Amino acid sequence: MYECIESEEGPIYTYGPIIHNEDVVAELEKKGVKVWDDDSKGEKGTLIIRAHGIGKERMQLLQSIGMNVIDATCPFVKKIHKIVSEKSAEGYNIIIAGKKDHPEVIGITGWCEGPFYVVSEPEDLDNIPFEEGSKCCLVSQTTFNHNKFNKIVAKFKKTMYYGLVFNSICNATQENQEETARVSEWADVMLVIGGKHSSNTQKLNEIASERCEHTYFIQSSDELDPAWIVHADRVGITAGASTPQNIIEEVKTKCQKKVLRNCWKKM
């Protein structure tokens, strides 16, 4: 992104907020990077497709209106696009485990050449109108809850569909969820750092809240209330994939200073 700011001529846009982190988006706005408005009649320039990706027709449209499109779609998301495009062309109905209004899922549906359905819970499979014996292909949003996906897969395999399953959850996302679960069971207080609209951070908050009663979802160190950790011996910290490292370090430093002060008072 910052290389584009320095190298590209003309205005620079991002297709939607480049990541779900308000601080980063605000910083980019100060540097002149704007969020693209489909109805914008402004000057043509460089348009950066964010990691969530977009549908095939949308990509072709943006290119046809004269925008210099830089595709920064996550490789894991691109892999899903390829799977649903190929399998739907082969006659498979596509089932996507994810949040139907999430940009990544909307983008995935844009690569389906036939019927598709989005599910977020195992029970949603009961509402799919495909006929018995239909060929179905199940994929997942890259940031979907790993444990919930496994439950959906278990139910999917018991249906009367002829099915294929692709676990397309990002490896880093899965590892972060598993580590968050482990730390949450150990901690007195859990701090989940990330944008309020970030799907993968919301999943981390959900996982942590199930295991640690005192879980707090914050976007920056400014939102950290010292009262949350004043009596805590063990503070766990996790963060969404889009959270800048400097914000994580600021929260960590603020926690450490508070712990040191508490230790000094007890001595």
Q: Which of 44-53, 135-144, 145-154 has the lowest mean pLDDT?
A: 44-53
In tens, the pLDDT along 80-98 reads 999 999 999 999 999 999 9
Sign of CA dihedral 185, 189, 190, 196: positive
Instruction: Decide: 179 and 238 in contact? Cβ < 8 Å.
Output: yes
Q: Residue length, the chain?
A: 267
% of the chain surpassing 70 pLDDT: 87
Lowest mean pLDDT among 23-32, 48-57, 59-68, 149-158: 23-32
Q: Where are the beta strands (DSSP E) in the chain?
A: 12-14, 33-35, 46-49, 68-71, 93-97, 116-119, 135-140, 162-165, 189-193, 215-218, 235-239
- In this prediction, residues 186-204 reach a mean pLDDT of 90
44-63: average pLDDT: 89
Would you place residue 267 in the very low, low, confident or very high pLDDT band (cuts 50, 70, 90)?
very low
Q: What is the pLDDT of residue 7?
A: 54
Residue 235: strand pairing partners: 189
Q: Of 126, 134, 129, which is closest to residue 93 (Cα–Cα)? A: 134
User: Which residues are known to be catalytic?
Assistant: 104
* Residue 225 pLDDT greater than 80, yes or no: yes
Rounded Cα–Cα distance for residues 48 and 33 (Å): 10
Please compute the mean of the pLDDT values over residues 191-196 and round it to a whole number.
Answer: 91
18-22, 62-66, 190-194: least confidently modelled range: 18-22
Q: What is the pTM of this model?
A: 0.77
Average pLDDT, the chain: 86
pLDDT band per the 50, 70, 90 thresholds, residue 99: very high
Note whether 151 and 119 are within 8 A (CB).
no
Q: How confident is the model at residue 76 (pLDDT cuts 50, 70, 90)?
A: very high
Question: What are 78's strand-pairing partners?
Answer: none
For the cut 60, the answer to whether the pLDDT of residue 68 exceeds it is: yes
**pLDDT tens digits, one per residue of 159-181:** 867 889 999 998 888 899 999 99
DSSP class of 34: E
pLDDT at position 156 is: 92
Q: Which residue has the higher pLDDT, 184 or 8?
A: 184
The mean pLDDT of 232-251, rounded to a whole number, is 90
Which residue reads 């920064």 in tokens? 72
Integer CA distances (angstroms), 125 to 108, 113, 150, 160, in order = 18, 20, 13, 11
Which pLDDT score, from 0 to 100, does residue 265 have?
32
Exposure class string for 200-212: b at 16+ Cβ within 10 A, else e: bbbbbbbbbbebb
Provide mean pLDDT across the span 58-79.
89
Q: What is the pLDDT of residue 261?
A: 43
Candidates 197, 256, 187; CA nearest to 221 is 256
What is the reported pLDDT for 256? Answer: 81
Query: What distance in Å separates the CA atoms of residue 227 and residue 189, rounded to the nearest whole number?
Result: 11
Q: CB atoms < 10 A from the CB of 167, how many?
A: 15
Per-residue pLDDT for 10 more than 80? no
Give helix 171-186 / helix 146-156 axis angle, nearest 10°: 120
Domains of the chain are 2-71 (3.40.50.11270), 75-169 (3.40.1010.20), 172-266 (3.40.1010.20)
Q: How would residue 37 be classed by pLDDT, with cut points 50, 70 and 90?
A: low
